[in-house]
């Protein structure tokens, strides 16, 4: 989660909404990204989407089964769909809000697991 928070800080310094995301398998970081919607003039360039794209490209697979997503804020509807389609194992949130409660309810009726947590370190 520490790396996701660093990505969020970097996004803020670029004038973006400060959101960071990391995809990991165990202690191995596969991809990390921060929001880049303004920089890339791309409304889909959310941290989660960029991390998912980078991880899929790195692994040469459209599925990220067995991988976890660490994100500093709960995903929007677009990113939530991408998390589901990528078949990520778990979603860890650094910050929980009312929207996270809706995510939790949606996840309870699917195969996804949602965990809210305090920020922790992920070793690269």
Closest to 70 measured CA to CA, from 54, 58, 56, 52: 52
The alpha carbon dihedral of 95, 97, 100, 104 has a sign of positive
Reported as half-sphere exposure (CB side, CA atoms, 13 A), residue 97 has a value of 7
Q: Which residues are catalytic?
A: 48
Closest to 22 measured CA to CA, from 77, 78, 64: 64
* Residues 109 and 86 sit within 8 Å (Cβ to Cβ): no
């Amino acid at each position: 989660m520490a790396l996701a928070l660093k990505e969020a800080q970097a996004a803020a310094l670029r004038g973006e909404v400060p959101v960071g995301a990391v995809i990991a398998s165990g202690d191995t970081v596969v991809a990390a990204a921060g929001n880049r919607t303004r920089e890339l003039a791309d409304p889909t360039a959310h941290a989660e989407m960029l991390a998912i794209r980078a991880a899929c490209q790195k692994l040469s697979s459209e599925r990220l089964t067995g991988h976890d997503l660490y994100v500093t804020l709960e995903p929007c509807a677009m990113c939530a769909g991408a998390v589901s389609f990528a078949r990520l194992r778990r979603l860890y949130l650094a910050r929980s809000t009312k929207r996270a409660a809706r995510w939790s309810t949606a996840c309870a009726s699917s195969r996804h697991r949602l965990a809210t947590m305090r920020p922790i370190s992920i070793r690269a």
